[in-house]
Amino acid sequence: MYESGENMSESIKVLLPEEELDKRIRELGAQISEDFAGEEVLMVCILKGASFFACELAKRITVPMSIDFMATSSYGAGTVSSGEVKIKKDLDLSVEGKNVLIVEDIIDSGHTLHFLSELFSTRHAKSIKLCAMLDKPERREVDVTMDYVGFTIPDAFVVGYGLDYDQKYRNLPYIGVVELNG
């Protein structure tokens, strides 16, 4: 259990330990490599949350790949998606004619991945596949078909392994549930 140093206002309970995350990321890397055999892939990592997951996943993909980063926002400092997706940093590389693998930390409402799928389609990507470390299907507001999912989790606010609570806890080596006290 991790406790905040600031007023002890929240604590973190481990949901997915580091070993379990590592095992599943290896499996996803193998599946993606098999699915894209003989092809090249452009991995698009959605910052900041997916950076930990994307780096570990990239090390386990065996097909030729490049990586680019995009920053979007639909949360601000809150814990619930606003539904409005804003691009804070666009890609440096073109997706035109490329197999695009969008890597996200978590899919809950579905707004971000739906928005990005539509955007990359208008930019003429050859194919678009969606990968998320975590899926919260109970929170879905927009129909999005996931190609690769690490874990399906309950509707709880999670942190660690890149996921944050107001920019804190990204550095935890596991996925934990935030328990607000008071």
Catalytic residues: 108
The answer to whether the CB of 53 falls within 8 A of the CB of 162 is: yes
Q: CA-to-CA distance for 121 and 128, rounded, in angstroms?
A: 8
Query: Can you tell me the distance from the alpha carbon of 88 to that of 77, in angstroms, rounded to the nearest whole number?
Result: 15
3-state secondary structure of 25: helix
How is the beta sheet containing 65-73 ordered, strand by strand?
Answer: 86-89, 65-73, 41-47, 99-107, 127-135, 148-152
Nearest to 113 by CA among 93, 134, 98: 134
| Cβ count within 10 A of residue 23 | 10
E-state strands within 74-174: 86-89, 99-107, 127-135, 148-152, 158-159
Q: Decide if 100 contacts 130 (C-beta within 8 A).
A: no
